Amino acid sequence: MLYQRSSQLFAEAEKVIPGGVNSPVRAFKGVGGTPIFAKSAKGAYVYDEDGNRYIDYINSWGPMILGHAFQPVVDAVIEKTKLGTSFGMPTELETKIADLAVSMVPNIDKIRFVSSGTEACMSAIRLARGFTKKDKIIKFAGCYHGHSDSFLIQAGSGASTFGTPNSPGVTQGTAKDTLLANYNNIENVKSLFESNKNEIAAIIIEPVAGNMGCIPPKEGFLEDLRQVCDINNALLIFDEVMTGFRLAKGGAQELFSVEADIVCFGKVIGGGLPVGAFAARNEIMNYLSPLGPVYQAGTLSGNPLAMAAGFAMLQSLNDDKNVFNRLENKTAYLHKGIQDVLSKNSIDFTINRVGSMISVHFDKNPVYDFNTAKNGDNDTFKKFFHGLLKEGVYIAPSAYETWFITDALTYEDLDFTIQAIDKVSKQL
Ligand SMILES: *Cc1c(COP(=O)(O)O)cnc(C)c1O
């Protein structure tokens, strides 16, 4: 494949944008080489500026669960655009999407829309702190909750890829209120509660971790967190920015039958436009301004184009009784295919998967937290990534990312992918 135009565009971008990108993981720093510049996308495919086509396993990092340029979303955005793109006044559509989200997700009465997952998580912990009148939060190493200060302590995703788990610019004062535990380690969590009696406002967790590869919660782990929170008067926050409207209509709460106190959304809920949201039962949500004392706002929050895209997306997911089954089946098929060819080619690997989130780790031992995720062989991953790219298969340019399966993928696409992986494995 030729990457001439992408290389040129990247050189130009680097002059005026730090690192040539507006979000670090796009820069290919974790795998080396020059990022490819996207020109267009449709269904399961993305096309670059040089005219190459790729089967896309990133899907804008999750939102395109029904494929790129999904017609109902495209139509809804075009129609809305003609009516004006922002008012800074309430609109009927905001209530419609809120109603729909509340009907799909268990255990929430009210929802507030923001413009990114980062904002959703940032606002959720402020609300939790205001509501409980306590300052500290527990987060898990390798979990990513966006880039606000409180979360940039051993965060996953790009923060892991670049080996700067603790960003300069986050003050000691902020960092001391974020307590760290290991994913899937309940003893860790319990001892933090013991040593910080009556100081912990909330636990925030990705109920299925997706920013250190895909890491499922161990049997009983989420239930245990629920119990520890109840005993200690702390709130349980599920960051479902990745899992929401992906693992099931009602997200991880539905899949695992565990109730969270506050739930954060992003990615799928915006159908590819900038949307985030956080939701909870009335008692908690009524603590938000203008009803309550916890302040939170946004000039473009509930933006009509964003709400039109999100509403069309949620409606499609809500109306299609089989979509989550199809996603499960397609991903299971891919899972088995990859497992077979990697085994056949004597590669050491572990595959983790929950529903349509899947990750391949180049390590034969179980991967269940950030430490075990770091054991993967990164040199093998780099070769794997570039090999697949050459074959026309685009996975995330970092070993710490989940693959996002889209319903637009056909079984032919999956077979093509498995064959490409077979070919690439022979060169690892
Ligand atoms: C992507 C992500 C975020 C951040 O969302 P942005 O829209 O990128 O700000 C937060 N939490 C999780 C679990 C995510 O995957």
**Residue 272 Cβ < 6 Å to ligand 1:** no
Average pLDDT estimate for 65-85 = 98
Stretch(es) of the chain classified as CATH 3.40.640.10:
71-319
Residue 64 predicted with pLDDT over 80 = yes
Confidence of residue 427 (pLDDT cuts 50, 70, 90): very high
- Could you give the angle at which helices 92-104 and 304-319 cross, rounded to 10 degrees? 30
- Closest-CA residue, ligand 1 atom 15, reads 242
Distance 404 CA to ligand 1 centre (A): 14
Among 160, 208, 246, 267, which is best to mutate for testing ligand 1, by the most ligand atoms less than 8 A from CB? 267
CATH class of 71-319: alpha beta
Distance 322 CA to ligand 1 centre (A): 26
pLDDT digits (tens, 9 = 90+) for 154-184: 766 665 555 445 788 888 888 889 999 999 9
How much is the mean pLDDT over the chain? 95
pLDDT at 305: 98
For residue 35, which of 47, 22, 21, 18 has the smallest C-alpha distance? Answer: 21
- Location of structure tokens 């309940």: 186
Average pLDDT estimate for 282-300 = 98
Q: What is the DSSP letter of 275?
A: -
pLDDT at 166: 72
pLDDT digits (tens, 9 = 90+) for 184-193: 999 999 999 9
Distance 271 CA to ligand 1 centre (A): 14
Confidence of residue 255 (pLDDT cuts 50, 70, 90): very high
- Location of structure tokens 């898990």: 140
pLDDT at 175: 86
pLDDT at 159: 58
Side-chain half-sphere exposure of 428, counting CA atoms within 13 A = 28
| 50-54, 325-329, 396-400: the lowest-pLDDT one | 396-400
pLDDT at 161: 53
> Would the CA dihedral through 127, 280, 260, 249 be positive or negative?
negative
CATH 3.40.309.10 fits 4-69+322-425, yes or no: no
pLDDT at 63: 97
Strands (E), 15-80: 38-42, 45-48, 53-56
Stretch(es) of the chain classified as CATH 3.90.1150.10:
4-69+322-425
**Residue 239 Cβ < 6 Å to ligand 1:** yes
Among 211, 264, 403, which is best to mutate for testing ligand 1, by the most ligand atoms less than 8 A from CB? 211
pLDDT at 275: 98
Please tell me the distance from the alpha carbon of residue 325 to that of residue 79, in angstroms, as a whole number: 31
Please tell me the distance from the alpha carbon of residue 4 to that of residue 387, in angstroms, as a whole number: 18
Average pLDDT estimate for 94-106 = 98
pLDDT digits (tens, 9 = 90+) for 337-371: 999 999 999 999 999 999 999 999 999 999 999 99
Residue 11 predicted with pLDDT over 70 = yes
Distance 50 CA to ligand 1 centre (A): 30
Q: Which atom of ligand 1 is nearest to the CA of 240?
A: 13
| 145-154, 316-325, 382-391: the lowest-pLDDT one | 145-154
Residue 309 predicted with pLDDT over 60 = yes
pLDDT digits (tens, 9 = 90+) for 193-223: 999 999 999 999 999 999 999 999 999 999 9
Average pLDDT estimate for 7-21 = 97
pLDDT at 163: 44
| 4-13, 158-167, 267-276: the lowest-pLDDT one | 158-167
pLDDT at 346: 97
- Closest-CA residue, ligand 1 atom 6, reads 117
pLDDT at 160: 55
